[in-house]
Structure 1
Amino acid sequence: MRLRRSIAAVFGAALSAVVFVTPVDAQPVRTGATTTYQINARHDGSLVDTAVGAPPLSQKWSRDLGGNVSYPVVAGGRVFATAASPDGYGTVLHAIDAATGEDAWAPVDLGGTYWWSALAYGGGRLYAQSDDGVLTAFNPATGAKIWTTTLTPQYSFTSPPTFAGGVVYTGGAGSGGTLYAVDAADGSVLWTQPVENGDNSSPAVTADGVYVSYACEQTYAFDPKSGDPIWRHRTDCSGGGGRTPVLADGGVWIRDAGMPSTVLGTTDGQVRGSYEASGRSPAPAFDGRQGYFVDEGVLQERHSRTLDTRWKFEGDGRISTAPIVVNGYVYVGSATGRLWALNGATGQSVWSTDVGAPINEPDEQNVSQPLTGLGAGGGLVVVPATHLLVAYGQ
């Protein structure tokens, strides 16, 4: 572990080039907000928002953002997303009024060497990270920059940031790997930890641990405040590719290309079970002990302890998204552009619609587009469909 003072001593001012622009009052994240990839800091895809009515829903607005669209962050009456720049490398940050679908403030060019970027929300701030490791905090109401930090020494960043407890956690790769904890108030680096690889794993966070999982089941748990290691799970495999872990029912649900997917205990990292999933299976979602998994274009429900499959939904056989659960309804999208809402208990389809464009699967390995996924909050279910961002509600 390297604390802030020793980091500065080793790497100097280049470690954390912080630029202060304007302050903002910190506000708590309320129920009914999508704050990062797969809804929340646990990445369990689950949201309770009484403002989102039971399906069927109707389209409220649709926006063409000019390039492949990221997962949305939905909070504070805004929908935030990034899109691949239509003019070359880099991405553009969009802030959209949730009620009208109009720009809440002017789009911001985030730059970047490629087309990857990702967002998080918390403490009254919006955080945007480029593939080059430039992490910027914005005032979500006005778009004003609060601070900008360039994370070093890594140079390749494909791990979406996660906000929890006043800290933004993210990972970087390029020369080995590094897990970063960044002060959400001022952008200073609180601590770092070396990890194997360091890419594609958005940190999953609770008050008790920060969990990341990289290629060949290199899974770690760290103390959120100090960065001290809690446990490490590893195998002797070679190759593969780690993915964002999910925290649910006392387990860390990890996926690795070419390996059986594994459930680890959150407290000790011991293997609790395994389940079949292909290397491209997106993150599962959970509602209590009901888990929802997409594999080979089919959605199925599994009990989180027995791992028994209780129902399957094939749709058109091309289900592509990671599922999310909103008020007990499971939402999934298809590469054909179809969106479904299912009864989470029975698997019965209660509503579907054509979004208007293919809904891409989340690419957790490359930087050719922003990481995509469904979002919800503020009375809306929000769907990135290739270049489109489409909102549904009552």
Structure 2
Amino acid sequence: MNLRRTIAVVFSAALSAVALVTPVGAQPVQTGATTTYQINARHDGSLVDTAVGAPPLSQKWSRDLGGNVSYPVVAGGRVFATAASPDGYGTVLHAIDAATGEDAWAPVDLGGTYWWSALAYGGGRLYAQSDDGVLTAFNPATGAKVWTTTLTPQYSFTSPPTFAGGVVYTGGSGSGGTLYAVDAANGAVLWNQPVENGDNSSPAVTAGGVYVSYACEQTYAFAPKSGEPIWHHRTDCSGGGGRTPVLADGGVWIRDGGMAPSVLNTTDGQARGTYEASGRSPAPAFDGRQGYFVDEGVLRERHSRTLETRWKFEGDGRISTAPIVVNGYVYVGSQSGRLWALNGATGQSVWSTDVGAPINEPDEQNVSEPLTGLGAGGGLVVVPASHLLVAYGQ
């Protein structure tokens, strides 16, 4: 009986300790997998994967995919990425065994008019989208095609797809813009809605809304199931282009090249504040109310409510990637090919390594290459570095 009481007290204390270290403002965390651009459907760049362990990490494998590499999807014991075709226009889908770095199944030519494509994962399937609007679902274990659909009437696609709740969300442009909701089971379009344009904005999704943001910070929220408009944050201008929004701490974090980055309320689209950074900076990452922002080659930590900068890390002055946060450690890469892991609370560098090639910044404006970015899951941190895809773990 005394032993049982002792165990109960220890277990209760352990639960209390976990509660104390849970970040304020934290959303339900993504665990163990990268399923789309910037880790998850909120694009907040945050992942919990105890198999990764604390840095330092060691290189597990490196692959040259023959062309500039996209952000990875890491799930089900595999790492998926697309790469610009070395033989002309289009991209190639690669499926890599996460443990060995060998091909899990043969590469697939996705075609395409240019060199852009993007991936999402969910519901036991992998979804690949080309720049001409062909969306294909694959069996991730075998590479077999499950269904293919061509989204119309738009003809230019640069918004990475997002899976949530049995639906794949994406955007297209060409004549105006369209946001699509596609049934992940069969590829049927469930609904679509017109937007200012459909460029370069991967939908950020929660149970309460689908959020997209375009040029001049024209930002929308739609009901996930019906597609009914919830709100539209209007500004005095419009144009082509867009950037992926990030959902964190009740805010929609948006960026545009000609305006100060802003935070909107998820509920009504009203502006909560702006922060000092270039609108061309990559997407921020969040761990509760700790936000991590890369701008002009420097990483800064800001509180999500006060927007105050509390520490900064300059590295080599060429930090280029959108950051990600894995188990409280912030990972960023540089155009010099350097990868760092930092203590998210203090900004102290705890590990760095040379990946072997420049780590390109995410190009959210062009179709000259797949959209790149860091990923993690299954015990790995995965880094696209130009033509290379490199995995680190313990």
TM-score (norm 2): 0.92
Q: What do residues 25-69 of structure 1 show as CA deviations (whole Å, max 9, x unaligned)?
A: 999997210000000000000000011110000000000000000
> For 1:240 and 1:4, how far apart are their aligned partners in 2?
65
Q: What do residues 288-326 of structure 1 show as CA deviations (whole Å, max 9, x unaligned)?
A: 000000000000000000000000000000000000000
Alpha-carbon spacing, 1:279–1:25, altered in 2? closer, same or farther (3 Å): closer
How many pairs are equivalent? 394
Q: Contact 1:18–1:148 (CA<8 Å) still a contact in 2? A: no
> For 1:284 and 1:176, how far apart are their aligned partners in 2?
28
Which range is displaced more, 2-11 or 270-279?
2-11
Q: What do residues 247-284 of structure 1 show as CA deviations (whole Å, max 9, x unaligned)?
A: 00000000011100000000000000001221320000
Partner residue, 2:273: 273
Q: Secondary structure at the match of 1:89?
A: coil
Give the C-alpha shift of residue 167 in structure 1: 0.0
TM-score (norm 1): 0.92
Return 5+ residue gaps in structure 2 as ranges. Answer: none
Q: Contact 1:28–1:123 (CA<8 Å) still a contact in 2? A: no
Q: Secondary structure at the match of 1:161?
A: strand
Alpha-carbon spacing, 1:303–1:139, altered in 2? closer, same or farther (3 Å): same
Q: Contact 1:242–1:257 (CA<8 Å) still a contact in 2? A: no
Give the C-alpha shift of residue 23 in structure 1: 40
> For 1:29 and 1:196, how far apart are their aligned partners in 2?
31
Which range is displaced more, 159-168 or 271-280?
271-280
> For 1:264 and 1:54, how far apart are their aligned partners in 2?
34
Alpha-carbon spacing, 1:7–1:283, altered in 2? closer, same or farther (3 Å): farther
Q: Contact 2:26–2:287 (CA<8 Å) still a contact in 1? A: no
Return 5+ residue gaps in structure 1 as ranges. Answer: none
Alpha-carbon spacing, 1:120–1:21, altered in 2? closer, same or farther (3 Å): farther
1:30 aligns with 2:30: yes
Partner residue, 2:370: 370
> For 2:142 and 2:246, how far apart are their aligned partners in 1?
32
Q: Contact 1:36–1:120 (CA<8 Å) still a contact in 2? A: yes
Q: What do residues 72-110 of structure 1 show as CA deviations (whole Å, max 9, x unaligned)?
A: 000000000000000000000000000000000000000
Q: What do residues 137-171 of structure 1 show as CA deviations (whole Å, max 9, x unaligned)?
A: 00000000000000000000000000000000000
Give the C-alpha shift of residue 237 in structure 1: 3.1
Q: Contact 1:285–1:291 (CA<8 Å) still a contact in 2? A: yes
> For 2:8 and 2:227, how far apart are their aligned partners in 1?
16
Give the C-alpha shift of residue 343 in structure 1: 0.2
Alpha-carbon spacing, 1:167–1:7, altered in 2? closer, same or farther (3 Å): farther
> For 1:384 and 1:333, how far apart are their aligned partners in 2?
10
Partner residue, 1:148: 148
Q: Contact 1:8–1:15 (CA<8 Å) still a contact in 2? A: no
Give the C-alpha shift of residue 241 in structure 1: 4.0
> For 1:13 and 1:144, how far apart are their aligned partners in 2?
49
> For 1:334 and 1:260, how far apart are their aligned partners in 2?
24
Give the C-alpha shift of residue 240 in structure 1: 7.3
Q: Contact 2:29–2:47 (CA<8 Å) still a contact in 1? A: no
Q: Contact 1:65–1:83 (CA<8 Å) still a contact in 2? A: yes
> For 2:124 and 2:59, how far apart are their aligned partners in 1?
28
Q: Contact 2:30–2:48 (CA<8 Å) still a contact in 1? A: no
Give the C-alpha shift of residue 217 in structure 1: 1.2
Alpha-carbon spacing, 1:89–1:4, altered in 2? closer, same or farther (3 Å): farther
Give the C-alpha shift of residue 18 in structure 1: 47
1:239 aligns with 2:267: no
Q: Contact 2:181–2:192 (CA<8 Å) still a contact in 1? A: yes
Q: Choose 1 or 2 for highest CA Rg.
A: 2
> For 2:368 and 2:60, how far apart are their aligned partners in 1?
29
Q: Contact 1:200–1:364 (CA<8 Å) still a contact in 2? A: yes
Q: Secondary structure at the match of 2:382?
A: strand
Partner residue, 1:304: 304
> For 1:180 and 1:6, how far apart are their aligned partners in 2?
55
Q: Secondary structure at the match of 1:20?
A: helix
Partner residue, 2:383: 383
Q: Contact 2:25–2:289 (CA<8 Å) still a contact in 1? A: no
**Identical-pair percentage:** 92
Which range is displaced more, 158-167 or 5-14?
5-14
Alpha-carbon spacing, 1:264–1:149, altered in 2? closer, same or farther (3 Å): same
Partner residue, 2:47: 47
Q: What do residues 117-148 of structure 1 show as CA deviations (whole Å, max 9, x unaligned)?
A: 00000000000000000000000000000000
Which range is displaced more, 376-385 or 15-24?
15-24
> For 2:8 and 2:196, how far apart are their aligned partners in 1?
23
Q: Contact 1:17–1:149 (CA<8 Å) still a contact in 2? A: no
Q: Contact 2:25–2:288 (CA<8 Å) still a contact in 1? A: no
Q: Contact 2:24–2:288 (CA<8 Å) still a contact in 1? A: no
Partner residue, 1:79: 79
